[in-house]
Amino acid sequence: MGGSRKALDLPEFPRVVVEGRSVFVVDEDGRESFWGEEETPERAREVADEIQLELRAMRYVGMKLRRALDEIAEDLSGLEISRESLDTIIYEGCFGLQKLLIELSNIVVH
């Protein structure tokens, strides 16, 4: 996967902060959750940076998927489908992805 990389506009939250050796995740609403404690403050900072990037990337994926679903709904709305049917169609289409998500979860776990 060489070549130049496009900069992504990752969300600003969650933020991950370090207090001594302790790592905390801070949500948009300011709520702080204890993540864990590392052997040294330096290691805590490294872990915090990794966690923050990964959590923001997860949120980015969710935001992109929501936008994609909105675009799909807009595309299908021109087909004279009722709003109720459209919601069902989108739900069933997403539910059909369950097999892919299960496969991904098996990869992550193993």
Please state the φ and ψ torsions of residue 22, each to the nearest 5 degrees. -90, 145
Give me the number of domains the chain comprises: 2
Tell me the per-residue pLDDT of 50-102, one tens digit each, with 9 for 90 and over. Answer: 999 999 999 999 999 999 999 999 999 889 888 889 989 999 998 888 888 88
Tell me the per-residue pLDDT of 17-61, one tens digit each, with 9 for 90 and over. Answer: 999 999 999 999 999 999 999 999 999 999 999 999 999 999 999
- Asked whether residue 5 is domain-assigned, the answer is no
Q: Alpha helices, DSSP H only, in 37-82?
A: 41-77
What residues contact residue 24 under an 8 Å CB cut-off, 6+ apart? 16, 17, 18, 32, 33, 34, 35
- Asked whether residue 89 is domain-assigned, the answer is yes
User: What's the rounded Cα separation, in Å, for the pair 88 and 44?
Assistant: 45
Does residue 64 share a domain with residue 86?
Answer: no
Number of helices (H), then strands (E), belonging to the chain: the values are 3, 3
Q: Which domain does 31 fall in, by range?
A: 10-68
